[in-house]
Amino acid sequence: MKSEMRVLVTDFQAKSDFEREVLPDVEVDTLLSIVGHPPTPHDLLHVIAERSAPVLITWYEMFFDAATLAALSEAGVRGIVRAGVGVDNIDLAAARAANIMVCNVPDYGTDEVADHAMALLLWCLRCLYAAPPTAVPPEAWWNAGRFSSIQRLQELTLAVLGFGRIGQATARRAQSFGLHVRWYDPYVPRGQDKVTRTTRVESLHDLLQGADALSIHCALTSETRHMIDATALALLPSHAVVVNTARGPIIDEGALYEALRARRLAAAALDVLEREPPVGDRLFNAYLCGELPNVLVTPHVAWYSQQSAIELRRKAAEEAGRLLRGESPHNPVL
């Protein structure tokens, strides 16, 4: 097998049997199986120096900075396929300078993430955080007064930050429950509000002011990092809830923690955190010890179903094959 027809999976997965089935004429290896421990950029460069692999498939545990990308380019890497949607673990400007094409898989788990977001919204809005047996002393558990803050869904407004595939899929689900949906996304073409029968607003302030719930679906960029900070959270009424299935750093977690602790927000449900896995994270620690019973955290699994995991691996491998063969990729990021 010629080394020029080789794909290397950089992180997360240890086996590549499935990718080999998708690419029968390509040698597919996993860095994790080669080095035997969670790989680092140094491990990647060492392995690539020994045997070239023109195309990499990367998940989310490997970070590509300018120095790493320059060295990979020197070693013959010409393409990186991100097995997922977000590319915030790759310095895109540096990849462009290194002449490395970056692609992603934007369409594998749209329904799963939208379903998860809706489940988290309902957990918040129906006050299900009051239901666990540990929420109150046993003798007070049957007191339905603990749920007195629940409001009719059909009279609530959901604010959606980011109105791409997943944002729109979440909006459709919310509309099926009768929620009014408004959204903010300056990069979506005009007229999408008419197609989706939603309300478009022109600023973050107009999105958040008076909204009953916020669901975040934008990409993590320098523009959106900590976009939901203390000032933004203060625009939401005290009965509002916050759901994030996009990227953790879009929210200033310290500000969210303080807002929840001071009861300036009713609840929050998060599938993503600023640091993953969370180590020494104040909000996560408060969640674990029960200090914030009105918070729910899931471990970045909104994207997952058995079917979406297979679809993701297949589409990532197919894109890698196109890059190897010099064909036009389906989902170039740059």
Q: Which residues are catalytic?
A: 247, 276, 300
HSE toward the beta carbon, residue 101, CA cutoff 13 A: 19
Cβ pair 252, 230 in contact under 8 A: yes
Phi then psi for residue 17, to 5 deg, are: -60, -45
Tell me if 173 sits within 8 A of 118, measured CB to CB: yes
Helix (H, G, I), strand (E, B) or coil at 263: coil
Return the SS3 of 112: helix
Instruction: Judge contact between 127 and 149, C-beta under 8 A.
Output: yes
Picking from 213, 116, 205, the residue whose alpha carbon sits closest to that of residue 156 is 213
- Contact between residue 213 and residue 124 where contact means Cβ atoms under 8 Å apart: yes
Within 10 A of 2 (CB to CB), how many other CB atoms are there? 8
Q: What is the DSSP letter of 300?
A: S
> What is the token pair recorded at 50?
């020994």
> Other CB atoms closer than 10 Å to residue 62's CB: what's the count?
23
- Give which of 210, 188, 211, 209 is closest to 200, Cα–Cα: 188
